[in-house]
Structure formats: C-alpha cells, structure tokens
Amino acid sequence: MKKHSVLVLCPSPRGTAATQRLKYEQYLDQLEKEGYQFTISPFQTKRFWKIIYKPGRIVEKIFWTLIGYLRRMGDLLRAPFYDAVFVNLWVTPLGFPFFERLLFLFNKRVIYDIDDMLFMNGKQIPKLSVQRLKGKAKSRVLMQKSQFVIVCTPRLEEIALELNENKNVVDISSTFNTDRFVPVRHYEQKETRIIGWTGTHSTLPYLDSLQPVLANVAGKRKIRLLVIANKPYQMRGVDTEFIYWNENTEVEDLQRMEIGLYPIPANEWSLGKSSLKALTYMAIAIPVIATAYGTNFRIMQDGEQGFLAKNEEEWVNRLIQLIDDAELRRRMGEAGRKTVEEHFSVTANIPKYRKAFNSVVKSIYS
C-alpha cells in the first residue's frame, strides 16, 4: 500500500502543548495504520519549549526563535515533495503572513487546524497570552487558502466558512483518549473537599476571577484548591496546593480532584474556546462547574454533568451543593464521562479526521 506523506507544521514538540496533544496528535497513530506517513516539524525545539514561558532569558529566546525561522525555510523547500501539509495554528509566529503565503506557492494541499480566536485584536485577548505578540493575519490567510479547515467551536466554524474559498470546514472539539483518561471510582465524603483547576499561565487570570467565590466557600466549608499548571500559583484566602503539569502523572494528579472549575470571561475571545478544561474533568468522571457561556452549553447540560453558573451567587451555591452531596458528585461525574465517551472521545471523532485528510490527499489521484 502506498504511503501518503504529510508534513506537519506545528508550534511545539509532540506531546507538550494541549492544543496539539488533545487534538490532532491523538489521531496520528491510527492514520498511520491507514496509510499515512507523517513528518513532524515543530517551530520550537525541546529546549525552547522548556524556557519559552519562563521569565527572562531574552537572548536565548531570540536565538531559538531564529532557529525556528531557519527550520521553516527548510520546511518550505521540502513542502512540494509531500502529498499534503498539515498546519496547526500558524507556520511562523510573528509578523505578517509571509511564510503562510509562501507555503501555498510550494504546496496548495494544506489542511489547517485552528484553535482560539488567533486573528482577534483588542482587550479581550488575555494579557499574558503570547497571542498578543503574534501576527493576527496569519490565521485568516490559512483559513482562506487551505483546502480543508479544522475548527473547534461553532463560532470558529462560522468564521472559517465565511473565509474559506473551498467551503471545506469541520468542527472537531478537543477530544480524549478514554483508555488513558480513566475515571475516578470513589466519591466518598472526606473532611476536606479537593476543588481543582488545570491550565496554563495564560488562563490563570480566569481562575483569579473566582477568588471571591472560593474565599466565601472556604469560610463555610473545608476545601483545598488544587491547581495543575506550568506556573506556580497561590490564591489569596484559600488553602491552595500547586502541582506542575507532568505528562507522566497528569491523569493521577487530575484524579485527586473532586470538583472541577472552568471559569471563562463572557466575550468574543471565549467563543474560540472548546471547553477543554471542562471536558478534562468530565473525562475523569468528576462534576464540573463552568461559566454559562460559549461552548459550555454544547458539552454539558445544567444539572446533568455539572452546573452552569451565571453569577457569583450561583458559583457559591453550586459549589456548596456539590461539596455536601457525594451521590450528586457521582451521578454528575458518571454522566460527564458518558458524554465524553459518546461525543468527545478519539473513537467518536476519528471519522472526521479521516475525512479531512482523505479529501485533501486523495484529491491528488482523482
């Protein structure tokens, strides 16, 4: 069987960034069994990935950025020899879409995978987000020119359909390997409830927004906030435990949580979010409390897999309700796990990825 060669241009090394790990990376092994051969070329080296979000080291970061651009020059030169090119987020991170436009001169068979409202300007983008430094026109060019576009929210799908010349767009949310993300099995009442949040430094401000809520609850019940992230964190007035995210212990660390938190701002930027954090909690069968906004309405129903909170009072009341009721936590956790298995698992979504790759690669032979 002839192998279909695909060059993958992504920001980060394989197995690091969530936007890659919990999206297309999970499908590569299965697609390889079906006749695809992938060459993965991250912009960041493993060394760059380790330091990119750490303070300082400006000279070293500039050096590795230049290395990334040199790597992309080589990628453009070899792009014509591949059956297709798969791009995650962008080809290069900064400035005008020069490399993105060049890519289509070297190979027009491009599949583009976009996550977040990368093309947005203004105050709605998180202050700590690297997105503020990136070229906003890059994603628009890629959405317009690619033969197939993969998005992760209904709002992104609307925008991609408006821009894409081929009108080939599919909405695939972040998904989970349910063999790896195994559910918790016990929902007993303990003296201290573990309320959890996982994410990166760029979204820690969203967790900060819950400080009044958690401080209020901490005055009424014995709780501990467990934070799994890539930057140390402590919440004022709340007993907090911080764990660095580690791929090898990720599931075990998540399973210590009993209630998962997913606060987001109610703005346009959040309409590009696929509710990844909420789905993470659901995958391990713990109840979720999330902001009543955006794709949270798509992945869960209020009172079924968890609660959708509209204001601070609802956050406090729903948290206390879940803290006091182990049976409710069990019922909601199991409902969330079932939802992930049926709609947001790798098994449920492989046909969509297969369609995207087949439609582009097999067009060569038609």
Q: Cα separation of 90 and 339, whole Å?
A: 31
The mean per-residue pLDDT over the stretch 76-105 comes to 96
Residue 187 pLDDT grade (very low, low, confident, very high; cuts 50, 70, 90): confident
Residue 303 has pLDDT above 90, yes or no: yes
Angle at 47 between CA 227 and CA 39, to 5 degrees: 100
Q: What's the N-to-C CA distance of the chain in angstroms?
A: 17
Radius of gyration of the chain (CA): 21
CATH of domain 193-343: 3.40.50.2000
287 close to 259: Cβ distance less than 8 angstroms: yes
- Percent of the chain past pLDDT 70, that is, above it, reads 94
pLDDT digits (tens, 9 = 90+) for 23-55: 999 999 999 999 999 999 999 999 999 888 788
Q: Cα separation of 96 and 281, whole Å?
A: 38
The token duo for 284 is: 């391990």
pLDDT given for residue 13 in this prediction: 94
17 close to 25: Cβ distance less than 8 angstroms: no
Q: pTM of the entire structure?
A: 0.86
pLDDT given for residue 133 in this prediction: 54
Domain 4-175+345-364 and domain 193-343 have a common topology: yes
CATH classification for the domain delimited by 4-175+345-364, as one of 1.10.150.120, 3.90.180.10, 3.40.30.10, 3.40.50.2000: 3.40.50.2000
The token duo for 133 is: 């430094």
60 close to 28: Cβ distance less than 8 angstroms: no
The token duo for 255 is: 């399973």
**At residue 321, what is the residue type?**
Q
Q: How many CB atoms lie within 10 A of CB 266?
A: 12
Q: Cα separation of 114 and 111, whole Å?
A: 10
Longest dimension (CA), the chain: 67
The token duo for 192 is: 């201290």
pLDDT digits (tens, 9 = 90+) for 115-138: 877 776 655 455 544 444 566 789
pLDDT given for residue 365 in this prediction: 57
> Which 3 state secondary structure label does DSSP give 47?
helix
pLDDT digits (tens, 9 = 90+) for 275-290: 999 999 999 999 999 9
Residue 167 has pLDDT above 50, yes or no: yes
Burial of 28 (0-12, 13-18, 19+ CB in 10 A): middle
| Secondary structure (DSSP) of 253-320 | HHTT-SEEEE---SSTGGGG---HHHHHHHHTT--EEEESSTTHHHH--BTTTEEEE-SHHHHHHHHH
- Give the dihedral sign, CA 52/58/64/65: positive
Give φ, ψ of 125 to 5 degrees. -75, 135
pLDDT given for residue 71 in this prediction: 97
pLDDT given for residue 119 in this prediction: 73
pLDDT given for residue 33 in this prediction: 94
What are the extents of the domains in the chain? 4-175+345-364, 193-343
Q: Which helix (H) or strand (E) holds 148?
A: strand 148-151
Cα pseudo-dihedral 297, 18, 283, 199, rounded to 10: -70
90 close to 20: Cβ distance less than 8 angstroms: no
Of 296, 238, 284, residue with least CA distance to 260: 284
286 close to 258: Cβ distance less than 8 angstroms: yes
87 close to 142: Cβ distance less than 8 angstroms: yes
> Which 3 state secondary structure label does DSSP give 198?
strand
pLDDT digits (tens, 9 = 90+) for 259-274: 999 999 988 888 888 8
For all residues of the chain together, what is the average pLDDT?
91
Q: Where are the beta strands (DSSP E) in 152-257?
A: 169-171, 193-198, 223-229, 240-244
199 close to 18: Cβ distance less than 8 angstroms: no
318 close to 353: Cβ distance less than 8 angstroms: no
pLDDT given for residue 116 in this prediction: 79
